[in-house]
Amino acid sequence: MNEWLSGFDYRKRIVIDNTYVDSNLSNFPVYVKIHQDTDIGSNAQSDGDDIRFTSGTGMLLPHEEETFSVRSGSGSGNFWVKVPTIKSSTGTVIYLYYGNGSATDGQNVSNVWDANFRGVWHLSGSTLHTTDSTSNKNVGTNNNGVAATTGKADGGGAFNGSNTNIYVTPDSSLNFSTILTVSTWVYITNESVPYQAAVTQRVDCGG
């Protein structure tokens, strides 16, 4: 058993199922969803400030809290945790700690997303949040008609497929000279409307 994180009364063991991992991953942000957990709801701080994550060997892991709330004694929340190594050959163990009344907010948001991530927008919250979780701080500065709505992980943005958009001011961190991967979660409510997820990149070439 790994060493217990000092100052915390409780923990839960989480196993990342290797059957969903095609090859070994390094420094990978894992989505952890807490859903109506009465143990956490009864013993964690109401804002989740005392929630921490460690590796199977006890190393503290960077995490980002999208949301956390306690209702009727049950805790629910959405977290992203940077796991150093996820194996395809066997389950990877991490621990979720809670139960420390004196703990302050332990998030380390920008370190969850390394330099390979140029922008991460969760669009979470009852009021639409267009902040960028990476250290690049590519904030959506012009929310043109996009409304807050429910999402797969937490909140989301409702686009009408026509003239709504979120604009991010051009920044050098968003210039790419190699292959670019874009990942989105999209829920289509009307198949008769042409929906399109796209990234437009402007490349300035010197003369």
pLDDT tens, residue by residue, 99-158: 999 999 999 999 999 988 999 999 877 788 899 999 999 998 867 888 888 877 778 888
Model-level pTM? 0.84
Edge-to-edge strand order for the sheet containing 92-98? 10-16, 92-98, 52-55
Instruction: Give the pLDDT score at 189.
Output: 74
Q: Using the predicted structure, report yes or no on whether residue 8 has a pLDDT greater than 90.
A: yes
pLDDT tens for 51-103 read 999 999 999 999 999 999 999 999 999 999 999 999 999 999 999 999 999 99
Q: Which of 163, 164, 77, 162 is nearest to 128 (CA)?
A: 164
pLDDT band at 15 (very low <50, low <70, confident <90, very high): very high
User: Burial letters for 3-24: b for 16+ Cβ neighbours within 10 Å, e otherwise?
Assistant: eebeebeebeebebeeeebeee
